A and B are shown apart, each in its own frame.
Chain A
Amino acid sequence: MIKFGFVCARNTFRAMDVFFWPVMDLLVWGFLSVYMLKVSNAVPALITMLIGATIMWNVLMRAQQLISVSFLDDLWSRNLLNIFAAPIRVSEYVTAAYLMGFIQAVLVILVLSVLANIFYSFNLFSIGLPLAFLFANLLLMGWSLGLVTTALILRWGPPAEALAWAIPFLVQPVCAVFYPVSVLPLWLQPVAYWVPAAHVFEGMRQILQTGHLDQSRLWCALGLNILYMVIAALVFRHLFQEARQRGYLAKYGT
Protein backbone atom coordinates (compact mmCIF):
# COMPACT_ATOMS: atom_id res chain seq x y z
CA MET A 1 0.00 0.00 0.00
CA ILE A 2 2.86 2.34 0.84
CA LYS A 3 4.45 1.53 -2.50
CA PHE A 4 1.25 2.31 -4.40
CA GLY A 5 0.93 5.56 -2.46
CA PHE A 6 4.46 6.57 -3.48
CA VAL A 7 3.78 5.72 -7.13
CA CYS A 8 0.51 7.71 -7.29
CA ALA A 9 1.89 10.64 -5.30
CA ARG A 10 4.59 11.29 -7.88
CA ASN A 11 3.26 9.88 -11.10
CA THR A 12 0.43 12.18 -12.14
CA PHE A 13 -0.36 10.03 -15.18
CA ARG A 14 -0.72 6.95 -13.00
CA ALA A 15 -2.99 8.79 -10.58
CA MET A 16 -5.02 10.20 -13.46
CA ASP A 17 -5.33 6.74 -14.98
CA VAL A 18 -7.46 5.80 -11.98
CA PHE A 19 -10.03 8.46 -12.91
CA PHE A 20 -9.49 8.96 -16.64
CA TRP A 21 -11.30 5.91 -18.02
CA PRO A 22 -14.27 6.07 -15.63
CA VAL A 23 -14.78 9.77 -16.37
CA MET A 24 -14.61 9.13 -20.13
CA ASP A 25 -17.14 6.30 -19.70
CA LEU A 26 -19.46 8.57 -17.79
CA LEU A 27 -19.24 11.38 -20.33
CA VAL A 28 -19.81 9.16 -23.39
CA TRP A 29 -22.68 7.15 -21.92
CA GLY A 30 -24.18 10.18 -20.23
CA PHE A 31 -24.28 12.30 -23.39
CA LEU A 32 -25.55 9.33 -25.41
CA SER A 33 -28.43 9.02 -22.94
CA VAL A 34 -29.22 12.71 -23.26
CA TYR A 35 -29.19 12.39 -27.05
CA MET A 36 -31.48 9.34 -26.97
CA LEU A 37 -33.93 11.22 -24.80
CA LYS A 38 -34.02 14.07 -27.32
CA VAL A 39 -34.43 12.07 -30.52
CA SER A 40 -36.71 9.30 -29.33
CA ASN A 41 -39.45 8.66 -26.86
CA ALA A 42 -37.06 6.96 -24.46
CA VAL A 43 -38.34 6.99 -20.90
CA PRO A 44 -36.60 9.66 -18.75
CA ALA A 45 -35.61 6.94 -16.28
CA LEU A 46 -33.34 5.53 -18.99
CA ILE A 47 -30.84 8.32 -18.53
CA THR A 48 -30.58 7.73 -14.80
CA MET A 49 -30.29 3.98 -15.29
CA LEU A 50 -27.47 4.28 -17.83
CA ILE A 51 -25.56 6.80 -15.76
CA GLY A 52 -26.04 4.82 -12.55
CA ALA A 53 -24.92 1.65 -14.33
CA THR A 54 -21.84 3.36 -15.73
CA ILE A 55 -20.78 4.57 -12.29
CA MET A 56 -21.43 1.26 -10.56
CA TRP A 57 -19.74 -0.82 -13.29
CA ASN A 58 -16.56 1.11 -12.60
CA VAL A 59 -16.64 -0.06 -8.98
CA LEU A 60 -16.36 -3.67 -10.12
CA MET A 61 -13.79 -2.93 -12.78
CA ARG A 62 -11.53 -0.82 -10.53
CA ALA A 63 -11.56 -3.43 -7.77
CA GLN A 64 -10.69 -6.19 -10.25
CA GLN A 65 -8.01 -4.27 -12.10
CA LEU A 66 -6.20 -2.92 -9.10
CA ILE A 67 -5.44 -6.42 -7.83
CA SER A 68 -4.22 -7.66 -11.21
CA VAL A 69 -2.32 -4.50 -12.11
CA SER A 70 -0.57 -4.37 -8.70
CA PHE A 71 0.75 -7.85 -9.44
CA LEU A 72 1.68 -6.88 -13.01
CA ASP A 73 3.53 -3.85 -11.64
CA ASP A 74 5.77 -6.15 -9.61
CA LEU A 75 6.15 -8.47 -12.61
CA TRP A 76 7.11 -5.65 -14.98
CA SER A 77 9.60 -4.10 -12.57
CA ARG A 78 11.15 -7.53 -11.88
CA ASN A 79 10.31 -7.11 -8.23
CA LEU A 80 8.39 -10.36 -7.78
CA LEU A 81 11.34 -12.20 -6.27
CA ASN A 82 12.02 -9.43 -3.78
CA ILE A 83 8.38 -9.52 -2.70
CA PHE A 84 7.91 -13.26 -2.43
CA ALA A 85 11.35 -13.82 -0.90
CA ALA A 86 10.36 -11.37 1.85
CA PRO A 87 8.49 -12.39 5.00
CA ILE A 88 5.15 -11.47 3.51
CA ARG A 89 2.25 -13.90 3.39
CA VAL A 90 0.38 -14.23 0.12
CA SER A 91 -2.77 -13.40 2.08
CA GLU A 92 -1.15 -10.12 3.26
CA TYR A 93 -0.17 -9.26 -0.32
CA VAL A 94 -3.69 -9.93 -1.55
CA THR A 95 -5.32 -8.09 1.37
CA ALA A 96 -3.24 -4.98 0.62
CA ALA A 97 -4.42 -5.12 -3.01
CA TYR A 98 -8.03 -5.57 -1.81
CA LEU A 99 -7.74 -2.47 0.38
CA MET A 100 -6.24 -0.42 -2.43
CA GLY A 101 -9.07 -1.61 -4.69
CA PHE A 102 -11.60 -0.53 -2.08
CA ILE A 103 -10.04 2.94 -1.68
CA GLN A 104 -9.84 3.39 -5.44
CA ALA A 105 -13.45 2.27 -5.96
CA VAL A 106 -14.65 4.74 -3.28
CA LEU A 107 -12.70 7.59 -4.89
CA VAL A 108 -14.01 6.74 -8.35
CA ILE A 109 -17.63 6.55 -7.21
CA LEU A 110 -17.28 9.91 -5.43
CA VAL A 111 -15.73 11.67 -8.42
CA LEU A 112 -18.23 10.19 -10.88
CA SER A 113 -21.19 11.04 -8.64
CA VAL A 114 -20.11 14.67 -8.47
CA LEU A 115 -19.65 14.84 -12.25
CA ALA A 116 -22.98 13.10 -12.89
CA ASN A 117 -24.64 15.66 -10.67
CA ILE A 118 -23.00 18.55 -12.51
CA PHE A 119 -23.58 17.32 -16.08
CA TYR A 120 -26.82 15.34 -15.84
CA SER A 121 -28.38 16.42 -12.53
CA PHE A 122 -28.21 12.79 -11.48
CA ASN A 123 -27.74 12.12 -7.76
CA LEU A 124 -26.49 8.58 -7.21
CA PHE A 125 -26.86 8.98 -3.46
CA SER A 126 -30.62 9.34 -3.86
CA ILE A 127 -30.59 5.53 -3.84
CA GLY A 128 -29.90 5.82 -0.11
CA LEU A 129 -28.61 3.07 2.15
CA PRO A 130 -29.07 0.25 -0.41
CA LEU A 131 -26.32 1.93 -2.44
CA ALA A 132 -23.79 0.73 0.19
CA PHE A 133 -24.98 -2.88 -0.25
CA LEU A 134 -24.91 -2.64 -4.03
CA PHE A 135 -21.41 -1.15 -3.83
CA ALA A 136 -20.20 -3.87 -1.42
CA ASN A 137 -21.46 -6.66 -3.67
CA LEU A 138 -19.77 -5.22 -6.76
CA LEU A 139 -16.56 -4.75 -4.78
CA LEU A 140 -16.65 -8.40 -3.65
CA MET A 141 -17.20 -9.62 -7.20
CA GLY A 142 -14.37 -7.36 -8.42
CA TRP A 143 -12.05 -8.84 -5.79
CA SER A 144 -12.90 -12.41 -6.81
CA LEU A 145 -12.34 -11.66 -10.49
CA GLY A 146 -9.10 -9.82 -9.64
CA LEU A 147 -7.78 -12.78 -7.67
CA VAL A 148 -8.61 -15.28 -10.42
CA THR A 149 -7.10 -12.98 -13.06
CA THR A 150 -3.89 -12.70 -11.02
CA ALA A 151 -3.77 -16.48 -10.58
CA LEU A 152 -4.08 -16.95 -14.34
CA ILE A 153 -1.29 -14.43 -15.00
CA LEU A 154 0.84 -16.24 -12.42
CA ARG A 155 0.19 -19.52 -14.26
CA TRP A 156 0.68 -18.33 -17.83
CA GLY A 157 3.01 -15.39 -17.22
CA PRO A 158 3.41 -12.16 -19.23
CA PRO A 159 1.56 -13.49 -22.34
CA ALA A 160 -1.59 -13.59 -20.18
CA GLU A 161 -1.30 -10.01 -18.92
CA ALA A 162 -4.05 -8.79 -21.29
CA LEU A 163 -6.48 -10.73 -19.07
CA ALA A 164 -6.14 -7.97 -16.48
CA TRP A 165 -8.16 -5.72 -18.80
CA ALA A 166 -10.16 -8.35 -20.69
CA ILE A 167 -11.76 -10.34 -17.87
CA PRO A 168 -14.32 -7.67 -16.80
CA PHE A 169 -15.51 -7.34 -20.39
CA LEU A 170 -15.71 -11.12 -20.72
CA VAL A 171 -18.33 -11.23 -17.96
CA GLN A 172 -19.98 -7.88 -18.74
CA PRO A 173 -22.65 -9.27 -21.15
CA VAL A 174 -24.06 -11.51 -18.40
CA CYS A 175 -23.75 -8.82 -15.71
CA ALA A 176 -26.78 -7.06 -17.21
CA VAL A 177 -25.12 -3.70 -16.59
CA PHE A 178 -27.03 -1.61 -19.11
CA TYR A 179 -30.07 -3.81 -19.79
CA PRO A 180 -32.27 -6.19 -17.81
CA VAL A 181 -31.58 -9.92 -17.70
CA SER A 182 -34.85 -10.49 -19.56
CA VAL A 183 -33.25 -9.01 -22.69
CA LEU A 184 -30.73 -11.85 -22.84
CA PRO A 185 -31.53 -14.98 -24.89
CA LEU A 186 -33.47 -17.50 -22.84
CA TRP A 187 -30.55 -19.93 -22.64
CA LEU A 188 -28.27 -17.20 -21.26
CA GLN A 189 -30.62 -15.93 -18.57
CA PRO A 190 -29.93 -18.75 -16.06
CA VAL A 191 -26.20 -18.01 -16.49
CA ALA A 192 -26.78 -14.34 -15.63
CA TYR A 193 -28.56 -15.29 -12.42
CA TRP A 194 -25.35 -17.01 -11.28
CA VAL A 195 -23.54 -13.68 -11.63
CA PRO A 196 -23.71 -11.45 -8.51
CA ALA A 197 -23.43 -8.25 -10.55
CA ALA A 198 -26.60 -9.13 -12.51
CA HIS A 199 -28.58 -9.10 -9.25
CA VAL A 200 -26.93 -5.81 -8.25
CA PHE A 201 -27.77 -4.05 -11.52
CA GLU A 202 -31.29 -5.45 -11.58
CA GLY A 203 -31.68 -4.15 -8.02
CA MET A 204 -30.29 -0.75 -8.93
CA ARG A 205 -32.71 -0.37 -11.84
CA GLN A 206 -35.57 -1.44 -9.58
CA ILE A 207 -34.73 1.27 -7.04
CA LEU A 208 -34.29 3.96 -9.67
CA GLN A 209 -37.64 3.06 -11.28
CA THR A 210 -39.80 2.28 -8.25
CA GLY A 211 -37.86 3.54 -5.24
CA HIS A 212 -38.12 0.04 -3.82
CA LEU A 213 -35.58 -2.81 -3.66
CA ASP A 214 -36.38 -6.49 -3.48
CA GLN A 215 -33.91 -7.47 -0.75
CA SER A 216 -33.73 -11.07 -1.94
CA ARG A 217 -31.61 -9.77 -4.84
CA LEU A 218 -28.99 -8.46 -2.42
CA TRP A 219 -28.91 -11.68 -0.41
CA CYS A 220 -28.64 -13.69 -3.59
CA ALA A 221 -25.71 -11.55 -4.76
CA LEU A 222 -24.03 -11.81 -1.36
CA GLY A 223 -24.40 -15.61 -1.25
CA LEU A 224 -22.93 -15.96 -4.73
CA ASN A 225 -20.10 -13.55 -3.85
CA ILE A 226 -19.15 -15.58 -0.78
CA LEU A 227 -19.14 -18.74 -2.90
CA TYR A 228 -16.96 -17.10 -5.58
CA MET A 229 -14.57 -15.58 -3.02
CA VAL A 230 -13.93 -19.07 -1.64
CA ILE A 231 -13.50 -20.54 -5.13
CA ALA A 232 -11.18 -17.66 -6.16
CA ALA A 233 -9.05 -18.16 -3.03
CA LEU A 234 -8.76 -21.90 -3.72
CA VAL A 235 -7.87 -21.33 -7.39
CA PHE A 236 -5.26 -18.74 -6.40
CA ARG A 237 -3.75 -20.98 -3.71
CA HIS A 238 -3.57 -23.92 -6.11
CA LEU A 239 -1.97 -21.91 -8.93
CA PHE A 240 0.42 -20.16 -6.53
CA GLN A 241 1.64 -23.54 -5.24
CA GLU A 242 1.96 -24.73 -8.82
CA ALA A 243 3.97 -21.59 -9.65
CA ARG A 244 6.37 -22.45 -6.81
CA GLN A 245 6.66 -26.04 -7.97
CA ARG A 246 7.25 -25.15 -11.61
CA GLY A 247 9.53 -22.24 -10.79
CA TYR A 248 7.31 -19.59 -12.40
CA LEU A 249 7.89 -17.06 -9.60
CA ALA A 250 11.61 -17.22 -10.25
CA LYS A 251 11.17 -17.37 -14.03
CA TYR A 252 8.85 -14.39 -14.34
CA GLY A 253 10.61 -12.51 -11.56
CA THR A 254 13.97 -12.22 -13.34
Chain B
Amino acid sequence: MVHSDLVVELRNVRKTFGPALAVDDLSFSVAEGEIVGLLGANGAGKTTSIHMLLGLITPSAGTINIFGKDLERHRIDILQQANFASAYQFLPWNLKVWENLFVFSEIYRVKNGKKKINELLDMFELSHMRDRITGALSAGEQTRLNLCKSLLNDPRLLLLDEPTASLDPDQADKVRKIIASLQRETGMTVINTSHNMIDVHELCGRILFMQKGRIIAEGGADEIMQRYGSESLEDVFIRIARTPIVEKLESELAKN
Protein backbone atom coordinates (compact mmCIF):
# COMPACT_ATOMS: atom_id res chain seq x y z
CA MET B 1 0.00 0.00 0.00
CA VAL B 2 1.46 3.37 -1.02
CA HIS B 3 0.33 6.40 0.97
CA SER B 4 -0.36 9.41 -1.22
CA ASP B 5 1.23 11.93 1.18
CA LEU B 6 4.44 9.97 1.31
CA VAL B 7 7.03 11.38 -1.05
CA VAL B 8 9.65 8.74 -0.37
CA GLU B 9 9.11 5.21 0.81
CA LEU B 10 11.85 2.59 1.09
CA ARG B 11 10.92 -0.93 2.06
CA ASN B 12 13.50 -3.53 3.09
CA VAL B 13 16.11 -2.06 0.80
CA ARG B 14 19.40 -3.90 0.75
CA LYS B 15 22.50 -3.17 -1.28
CA THR B 16 25.59 -5.29 -1.52
CA PHE B 17 28.68 -4.69 -3.60
CA GLY B 18 30.17 -8.16 -3.87
CA PRO B 19 30.79 -9.32 -0.31
CA ALA B 20 30.42 -5.79 1.11
CA LEU B 21 27.09 -4.87 2.65
CA ALA B 22 26.39 -1.15 2.07
CA VAL B 23 22.72 -0.91 3.02
CA ASP B 24 20.99 -3.52 5.14
CA ASP B 25 17.20 -3.90 5.25
CA LEU B 26 16.60 -0.16 5.15
CA SER B 27 13.01 0.97 5.56
CA PHE B 28 11.85 4.52 6.07
CA SER B 29 9.42 6.98 4.63
CA VAL B 30 9.38 10.73 4.21
CA ALA B 31 6.17 12.72 4.05
CA GLU B 32 5.52 15.69 1.77
CA GLY B 33 7.16 18.86 3.11
CA GLU B 34 9.47 17.12 5.58
CA ILE B 35 13.16 17.90 5.92
CA VAL B 36 14.88 14.72 6.98
CA GLY B 37 18.53 14.41 7.91
CA LEU B 38 20.51 11.26 7.19
CA LEU B 39 23.35 11.09 9.66
CA GLY B 40 26.12 8.62 10.16
CA ALA B 41 29.84 8.08 10.08
CA ASN B 42 31.73 7.57 6.83
CA GLY B 43 30.63 4.32 5.20
CA ALA B 44 27.32 4.23 7.08
CA GLY B 45 25.38 3.97 3.79
CA LYS B 46 24.06 7.54 3.49
CA THR B 47 25.44 8.34 0.06
CA THR B 48 24.58 4.88 -1.29
CA SER B 49 21.01 5.50 -0.09
CA ILE B 50 20.91 8.89 -1.85
CA HIS B 51 22.30 7.33 -5.03
CA MET B 52 19.64 4.62 -4.87
CA LEU B 53 16.97 7.32 -4.48
CA LEU B 54 18.32 8.92 -7.66
CA GLY B 55 18.27 5.61 -9.54
CA LEU B 56 22.04 5.70 -10.05
CA ILE B 57 22.41 2.47 -8.11
CA THR B 58 19.85 -0.33 -8.21
CA PRO B 59 19.03 -2.00 -4.88
CA SER B 60 19.95 -5.67 -4.48
CA ALA B 61 16.59 -6.20 -2.79
CA GLY B 62 13.58 -4.19 -1.62
CA THR B 63 11.49 -1.47 -3.22
CA ILE B 64 11.75 2.28 -3.53
CA ASN B 65 8.66 4.36 -4.20
CA ILE B 66 8.86 8.09 -4.84
CA PHE B 67 5.74 10.23 -5.31
CA GLY B 68 3.81 6.95 -4.95
CA LYS B 69 5.52 5.46 -8.02
CA ASP B 70 8.02 2.65 -8.33
CA LEU B 71 11.40 4.26 -8.98
CA GLU B 72 12.66 1.54 -11.31
CA ARG B 73 9.64 1.78 -13.61
CA HIS B 74 9.00 5.56 -13.47
CA ARG B 75 12.56 6.84 -13.11
CA ILE B 76 12.38 9.63 -15.69
CA ASP B 77 9.01 10.92 -14.49
CA ILE B 78 10.28 10.95 -10.89
CA LEU B 79 13.60 12.61 -11.71
CA GLN B 80 11.72 15.36 -13.57
CA GLN B 81 10.31 16.40 -10.17
CA ALA B 82 13.44 15.80 -8.12
CA ASN B 83 16.97 17.14 -8.06
CA PHE B 84 20.15 16.84 -6.07
CA ALA B 85 23.32 18.62 -5.08
CA SER B 86 26.49 17.28 -3.59
CA ALA B 87 29.63 18.99 -2.38
CA TYR B 88 31.58 16.26 -4.17
CA GLN B 89 29.93 16.64 -7.54
CA PHE B 90 30.95 19.21 -10.11
CA LEU B 91 29.48 20.81 -13.17
CA PRO B 92 31.65 20.77 -16.32
CA TRP B 93 34.68 22.91 -15.56
CA ASN B 94 35.08 24.14 -19.13
CA LEU B 95 31.68 25.85 -19.36
CA LYS B 96 30.75 29.25 -17.99
CA VAL B 97 28.55 29.41 -14.91
CA TRP B 98 25.43 30.49 -16.84
CA GLU B 99 26.13 27.99 -19.63
CA ASN B 100 26.13 25.11 -17.16
CA LEU B 101 22.85 26.26 -15.67
CA PHE B 102 21.40 26.79 -19.15
CA VAL B 103 22.33 23.24 -20.21
CA PHE B 104 20.61 21.80 -17.13
CA SER B 105 17.60 24.10 -17.47
CA GLU B 106 17.14 22.57 -20.93
CA ILE B 107 17.57 19.01 -19.62
CA TYR B 108 14.98 19.67 -16.89
CA ARG B 109 12.77 21.51 -19.42
CA VAL B 110 12.53 24.58 -17.18
CA LYS B 111 10.08 27.20 -18.43
CA ASN B 112 11.57 30.71 -18.49
CA GLY B 113 14.96 29.12 -17.87
CA LYS B 114 16.95 32.34 -18.23
CA LYS B 115 14.78 34.14 -15.66
CA LYS B 116 15.08 31.22 -13.26
CA ILE B 117 18.87 31.13 -13.71
CA ASN B 118 19.15 34.83 -12.89
CA GLU B 119 16.95 34.43 -9.80
CA LEU B 120 19.04 31.55 -8.49
CA LEU B 121 22.35 33.27 -9.21
CA ASP B 122 21.06 36.28 -7.25
CA MET B 123 19.84 34.08 -4.43
CA PHE B 124 23.23 32.37 -4.02
CA GLU B 125 25.22 35.59 -4.60
CA LEU B 126 26.80 34.32 -7.82
CA SER B 127 25.39 36.87 -10.28
CA HIS B 128 28.74 38.58 -10.73
CA MET B 129 30.25 35.23 -11.72
CA ARG B 130 27.76 34.24 -14.37
CA ASP B 131 30.30 34.69 -17.20
CA ARG B 132 33.15 33.06 -15.35
CA ILE B 133 34.48 29.62 -16.31
CA THR B 134 33.21 27.10 -13.76
CA GLY B 135 36.66 25.57 -13.27
CA ALA B 136 37.90 28.95 -12.01
CA LEU B 137 35.41 29.05 -9.12
CA SER B 138 36.46 28.28 -5.56
CA ALA B 139 35.15 25.08 -3.93
CA GLY B 140 32.56 27.09 -2.01
CA GLU B 141 31.37 28.88 -5.15
CA GLN B 142 31.08 25.56 -7.00
CA THR B 143 29.03 24.18 -4.14
CA ARG B 144 26.65 27.14 -4.40
CA LEU B 145 26.51 26.67 -8.16
CA ASN B 146 25.52 23.03 -7.61
CA LEU B 147 22.76 24.24 -5.32
CA CYS B 148 21.56 26.60 -8.07
CA LYS B 149 21.44 23.60 -10.45
CA SER B 150 19.53 21.58 -7.89
CA LEU B 151 16.79 24.20 -7.62
CA LEU B 152 16.37 24.94 -11.34
CA ASN B 153 13.27 22.79 -11.74
CA ASP B 154 11.59 23.79 -8.43
CA PRO B 155 11.93 20.18 -7.27
CA ARG B 156 9.27 18.52 -5.15
CA LEU B 157 12.05 16.37 -3.72
CA LEU B 158 15.52 17.77 -3.09
CA LEU B 159 18.35 15.39 -2.21
CA LEU B 160 21.38 17.02 -0.65
CA ASP B 161 24.67 15.24 0.01
CA GLU B 162 26.66 17.34 2.48
CA PRO B 163 25.55 20.58 0.86
CA THR B 164 27.59 22.87 3.10
CA ALA B 165 30.76 20.74 3.31
CA SER B 166 33.01 23.27 1.57
CA LEU B 167 31.30 26.48 2.68
CA ASP B 168 32.58 28.93 5.28
CA PRO B 169 30.30 29.41 8.32
CA ASP B 170 28.78 32.60 6.86
CA GLN B 171 27.90 31.02 3.52
CA ALA B 172 26.76 27.79 5.20
CA ASP B 173 24.36 29.81 7.34
CA LYS B 174 23.03 31.66 4.28
CA VAL B 175 22.54 28.39 2.40
CA ARG B 176 20.64 26.85 5.35
CA LYS B 177 18.40 29.89 5.49
CA ILE B 178 17.73 29.77 1.74
CA ILE B 179 16.82 26.08 1.85
CA ALA B 180 14.60 26.54 4.90
CA SER B 181 12.89 29.54 3.33
CA LEU B 182 12.34 27.79 -0.02
CA GLN B 183 10.99 24.76 1.77
CA ARG B 184 8.47 26.96 3.63
CA GLU B 185 7.42 28.71 0.42
CA THR B 186 7.16 25.69 -1.86
CA GLY B 187 6.57 22.82 0.56
CA MET B 188 9.31 20.77 -1.07
CA THR B 189 10.61 17.66 0.64
CA VAL B 190 14.29 17.56 1.50
CA ILE B 191 16.58 14.68 2.41
CA ASN B 192 19.89 15.95 3.63
CA THR B 193 23.00 13.94 4.48
CA SER B 194 25.51 15.85 6.50
CA HIS B 195 28.35 15.67 8.97
CA ASN B 196 27.60 19.24 9.98
CA MET B 197 25.50 19.03 13.13
CA ILE B 198 24.45 22.69 12.86
CA ASP B 199 22.97 21.92 9.43
CA VAL B 200 21.06 19.01 10.79
CA HIS B 201 19.88 20.72 13.97
CA GLU B 202 18.71 23.88 12.20
CA LEU B 203 17.25 22.34 9.08
CA CYS B 204 15.96 18.89 9.79
CA GLY B 205 12.67 18.16 11.51
CA ARG B 206 13.58 14.48 11.75
CA ILE B 207 16.88 12.67 11.85
CA LEU B 208 17.74 9.14 10.80
CA PHE B 209 21.01 7.92 12.29
CA MET B 210 22.62 5.25 10.12
CA GLN B 211 25.34 2.81 10.94
CA LYS B 212 26.56 -0.07 8.78
CA GLY B 213 23.67 0.43 6.40
CA ARG B 214 20.94 0.36 9.04
CA ILE B 215 18.91 2.99 10.82
CA ILE B 216 19.78 2.74 14.48
CA ALA B 217 18.08 5.86 15.83
CA GLU B 218 15.29 8.08 14.58
CA GLY B 219 13.51 11.20 15.82
CA GLY B 220 13.74 14.97 16.21
CA ALA B 221 17.12 16.46 17.17
CA ASP B 222 16.03 17.33 20.72
CA GLU B 223 14.31 13.99 21.17
CA ILE B 224 17.44 12.08 20.15
CA MET B 225 19.68 14.21 22.36
CA GLN B 226 17.33 13.57 25.29
CA ARG B 227 17.24 9.85 24.55
CA TYR B 228 21.02 9.64 24.63
CA GLY B 229 21.35 12.04 27.57
CA SER B 230 23.54 14.33 25.48
CA GLU B 231 23.64 18.08 25.16
CA SER B 232 24.59 18.17 21.52
CA LEU B 233 23.98 16.16 18.37
CA GLU B 234 27.71 15.97 17.90
CA ASP B 235 28.01 14.13 21.18
CA VAL B 236 25.26 11.72 20.10
CA PHE B 237 27.03 11.23 16.77
CA ILE B 238 30.31 10.36 18.48
CA ARG B 239 28.65 8.02 20.96
CA ILE B 240 26.76 6.21 18.21
CA ALA B 241 29.81 5.97 15.99
CA ARG B 242 31.88 4.47 18.81
CA THR B 243 29.30 2.03 20.15
CA PRO B 244 29.04 -1.45 18.62
CA ILE B 245 25.84 -1.84 16.60
CA VAL B 246 24.50 -4.87 18.51
CA GLU B 247 24.58 -2.99 21.78
CA LYS B 248 22.69 -0.09 20.21
CA LEU B 249 20.01 -2.26 18.69
CA GLU B 250 19.49 -4.06 21.98
CA SER B 251 19.22 -0.74 23.78
CA GLU B 252 16.68 0.52 21.20
CA LEU B 253 14.66 -2.69 21.52
CA ALA B 254 14.66 -2.36 25.32
CA LYS B 255 13.33 1.21 25.02
CA ASN B 256 10.54 0.15 22.68
Q: How far is the CA of A2 from the CA of B32 in the complex (A)?
A: 34
Q: Which residues of A contact B149 (CB under 8 A)?
A: 82
Q: Which residues of B contact A85 (CB under 8 A)?
A: 54-56, 79, 83-84
Is the C-beta of A187 less than 8 angstroms from some C-beta in chain B? no
Is the C-beta of B182 less than 8 angstroms from some C-beta in chain A? no
Nearest chain B residue, comparing its CB with the CB of A83: B107
Is the C-beta of A244 less than 8 angstroms from some C-beta in chain B? yes
Q: Name the distance in Å between B124's Cβ and chain A's nearest Cβ.
A: 17
Residues facing B in A47-86 (CB within 8 A) are 73-74, 77-79, 81-86
Once A81-B86, A244-B56, A247-B57 are accepted as A-B contacts, the answer to whether A86 and B92 lie under 8 Å apart by CB is no
Q: Which residues of A contact B106 (CB under 8 A)?
A: 2
The answer to whether A6 and B95 touch across the interface, beta carbons within 8 angstroms, is: yes
The answer to whether A86 and B88 touch across the interface, beta carbons within 8 angstroms, is: no
The answer to whether B58 and A78 touch across the interface, beta carbons within 8 angstroms, is: no
Stretch of B96-104, B207-215, B222-230, B237-245 lying at the A interface: B96-104
Q: Which residues of B contact A11 (CB under 8 A)?
A: 94
Is the C-beta of A209 less than 8 angstroms from some C-beta in chain B? no
The answer to whether A249 and B90 touch across the interface, beta carbons within 8 angstroms, is: no
Most buried by A among B83, B103, B108, B149: B103
Q: Which residues of B contact A253 (CB under 8 A)?
A: 56, 89
Q: How far is the CA of A167 from the CA of B84 in the complex (A)?
A: 35
Q: Which residues of A contact B91 (CB under 8 A)?
A: 77, 79, 82
Q: How far is the CA of A241 from the CA of B90 in the complex (A)?
A: 24
Q: Digit string of A78-119 for contact with B (CB within 8 Å is 1, else 0)?
A: 110111111111000000000000000000000000000000
Nearest chain A residue, comparing its CB with the CB of B15: A247
The answer to whether B56 and A86 touch across the interface, beta carbons within 8 angstroms, is: no
Q: How far is the CA of A253 from the CA of B88 in the complex (A)?
A: 9
> How many residues of chain A are within 8 Å of chain B by beta carbon?
29
Is the C-beta of B76 less than 8 angstroms from some C-beta in chain A? yes
Most buried by A among B48, B90, B109: B90
Q: Which residues of B contact A10 (CB under 8 A)?
A: 94, 96
Nearest chain A residue, comparing its CB with the CB of B107: A86
Nearest chain B residue, comparing its CB with the CB of A242: B58
> Which single member of A86, A89, A247 contacts B48 (CB below 8 Å)?
A247
- Mostly, the A contact residues are helix
> How many residues of chain B are within 8 Å of chain A by beta carbon?
35
Q: Digit string of A214-254 for contact with B (CB within 8 Å is 1, else 0)?
A: 00000000000000000000000000010011110110011
Q: Which residues of A contact B17 (CB under 8 A)?
A: 246-247
Once A245-B58, A253-B89 are accepted as A-B contacts, the answer to whether A86 and B104 lie under 8 Å apart by CB is yes
> Which single member of B51, B79, B96 contacts A250 (CB below 8 Å)?
B51
Q: How far is the CA of A2 from the CA of B103 in the complex (A)?
A: 7
The answer to whether B57 and A2 touch across the interface, beta carbons within 8 angstroms, is: no
Is the C-beta of A7 less than 8 angstroms from some C-beta in chain B? yes
Q: Digit string of A1-35 for contact with B (CB within 8 Å is 1, else 0)?
A: 01100110011000000000000000000000000
Q: How far is the CA of A245 from the CA of B108 in the complex (A)?
A: 25
Q: Name the distance in Å between A18's Cβ and chain B's nearest Cβ.
A: 15
Most buried by A among B54, B77, B80: B54
The answer to whether B56 and A3 touch across the interface, beta carbons within 8 angstroms, is: no
Q: Which residues of A contact B28 (CB under 8 A)?
A: none
Q: How far is the CA of A63 from the CA of B80 in the complex (A)?
A: 30
Nearest chain B residue, comparing its CB with the CB of A246: B17
Q: Name the distance in Å between A51's Cβ and chain B's nearest Cβ.
A: 35
Most buried by B among A7, A84, A87, A88: A87
Q: Name the distance in Å between B14's Cβ and chain A's nearest Cβ.
A: 13
Q: Name the distance in Å between A2's Cβ and chain B's nearest Cβ.
A: 5
Please name 11 pairs of A and B residues whose Cβ atoms are closer than 8 Å in the assembled complex, sorted by A.
A6-B103, A7-B92, A10-B96, A79-B91, A81-B54, A82-B89, A87-B109, A88-B107, A245-B60, A247-B17, A253-B56
Q: 4 tightest CB-CB pairs across the interface, nearest first? A: A87-B80, A87-B79, A85-B54, A77-B92
Given A3-B95, A244-B55, A247-B48, 17 more pairs with CB closer than 8 A = A7-B94, A10-B94, A73-B92, A74-B92, A77-B93, A77-B94, A81-B56, A82-B91, A85-B54, A85-B84, A87-B109, A88-B107, A241-B58, A244-B56, A250-B48, A250-B51, A250-B57
